[in-house]
Structure 1
Amino acid sequence: MAAESRNVAHISDAADVRKHRIELAAALRLAAKFGLNEAIDNHFSFALDHDRFLINGYGKHWSMMTAGDVLVIDGDGKILDGRGELEPTAFFIHRAVHRRYEQARAVLHTHMPYSTAIACAEGGRLLPISQTYCLFHDRIGYDEHYNGMGDHAQEGDRIASAMGGRPVALLASHGPIVTGPTMGQAFSWLYYLERAAELQVLAEGRGQPLKLLSDDVVQATRDSWDSAPLHHDKHFAALMAMLDKEQPEYREFH
């Protein structure tokens, strides 16, 4: 599904589309900066409406992504704008999640190492051992069955169903999916998920019993996270400001 850049001037919300393409390009570059991506194999998307969403074009390393490499596609996989190809697993997984969960405007899928390491363990679960875990308490759906590449509609639908209405999923032998109402929240959650998983893997590696938090403390700490809902968008804005200074070309469309 290769495509040259296409004109979408007829879209009435062109300014918003432009803004969200820049944000998605920033998220891709930041994922590469923090080591959250794997080669050219992962995908981020953002729903524009019920039948159009943004997704990264396939084949370009995320550290070099620009807004012009973010594709605008429809629900049939037709590329409306952007440079590059639409990779099948990206299309089928992300379309299924966007269609099933209206609140999941941003859908981020990676193979980031610590979260994926937990998903590769028998019965792997993120455990209540840290403050960072508490953000995700009762917000992770676990898919126990790896069925191969998600390069067809049935597998995309199965993965979306396995999320069980939760904003985060750990796919067995595969990796995480993190969703959110904004790109800022979704990316911040992706960042914190990997940090929570890293703490767990490091603690498990010490060979000592893990110190589990009580249910009351976990819930109170999650409530504290939730009491600052703008934290994640502010976090992402701070990261974009850093990127503006270091790699301003990510905003380019030509």
Structure 2
Amino acid sequence: MTTTLTAPALQDPAAFYRTGAVARLREDLALALRAAAHHGLSESVCNHFSVAADEGFDTFLLNPRGLMWEEVQADDIVLVDAQGEVLHGRHEVEPTAMFIHAAVHRIARKVAVLHTHMPHATALTLTTRRGLDTGLSQNAMRFAGRTIVDPDYNGLALDAQEGERIARAMGDADVAFLANHGVVVCGARIDYAYDDLYFLERACQAEVLARATGLPLEPVQDAMARKVAAQVEQERLQSTLFFEALRRRLPSAC
């Protein structure tokens, strides 16, 4: 299952990296990255996905610097500590990833943290509204009550202070629209988070297209949107089935 594990304080990061549970997390994280590339959600070698490697949020797994998402395999994933220092892995990591992801894991206590500049979601961070209207499409309704907008763009996250500011802005939200930047999508498991990431972009795409018509939009009442969000949350098996289908479609390299 795509969950985190309980682990004592690390004395041997290399051995910890190879344990069965961490190996499965690495496989799932690499799959999520390849899936995002497959679905057109990646951007060059930029942006990052991460997952907590222990229940104390003392360590997390992260994609490395310089690899396209479609080429990432489980052995490319890097093990990092809560301060963003590399513990084990054959690649370097990108500084903004350490600052943002380390802070969101440590402060917001999020398990899976997916940060992208995917096009339609990012487009909605550029408008005066800066976010998704969760009353418009059925895909959007799954996010009712689960999003926040961080209105303060401060350039690249090149220090711990900016990463911590973003983490505190997230609070209990699962999705953060970062003004003039992109989105952060979080979940209790990698498969749940990836499912949300995929459907968030679909919901944002529908809104962008609908707004482009220039016609009046007709969102549902907030109570209905929240009802749909609760229904989706009760049927998370669909998220797992989607992720396992992606595992069959996008297998790891031999």
In the superposition, the TM-score normalised over structure 1's length comes to 0.90
In the alignment, residue 129 of structure 2 is paired with which amino acid? G
- 1:188 is the counterpart of 2:195: yes
Q: CA deviation at 1:211?
A: 1.4
**1:48 corresponds to:** 53
Which of residues 15, 18, 34 is equivalent to 1:10? Answer: 15
Contact 1:133 1:193 in 2 (8 A): yes
Identity %: 42
Deviations 1:205-239 (A, max 9, x none): 11100111122321222222122122212211111
**2:119 corresponds to:** 113
Which of residues 176, 182, 187 is equivalent to 2:183? Answer: 176
Contact 2:17 2:23 in 1 (8 A): no
In the superposition, the TM-score normalised over structure 2's length comes to 0.90
Q: Which runs of 5+ in 2 are unaligned?
A: 1-11
**1:141 corresponds to:** 148
Contact 1:77 1:86 in 2 (8 A): no
SS in 1 for 2:250: helix
In the alignment, residue 117 of structure 1 is paired with which amino acid? A
Give the RMSD, CA atoms, in angstroms. Answer: 1.6
**1:4 corresponds to:** none
Contact 2:195 2:243 in 1 (8 A): yes
Deviations 1:128-185 (A, max 9, x none): 1110111100100110010000110000011011113211100000000000111000
Once residues 195 and 113 of structure 1 are traced to their aligned partners in structure 2, the CA distance between those partners, rounded to angstroms, is 10
Q: Which runs of 5+ in 1 are unaligned?
A: 1-6
Once residues 23 and 201 of structure 2 are traced to their aligned partners in structure 1, the CA distance between those partners, rounded to angstroms, is 29
**1:214 corresponds to:** 221
Which of residues 4, 18, 25 is equivalent to 2:30? Answer: 25
Once residues 104 and 84 of structure 2 are traced to their aligned partners in structure 1, the CA distance between those partners, rounded to angstroms, is 15
Once residues 220 and 27 of structure 1 are traced to their aligned partners in structure 2, the CA distance between those partners, rounded to angstroms, is 28
Equivalenced residue count is 240
Once residues 95 and 12 of structure 1 are traced to their aligned partners in structure 2, the CA distance between those partners, rounded to angstroms, is 18
Once residues 15 and 62 of structure 2 are traced to their aligned partners in structure 1, the CA distance between those partners, rounded to angstroms, is 20
SS in 1 for 2:235: coil
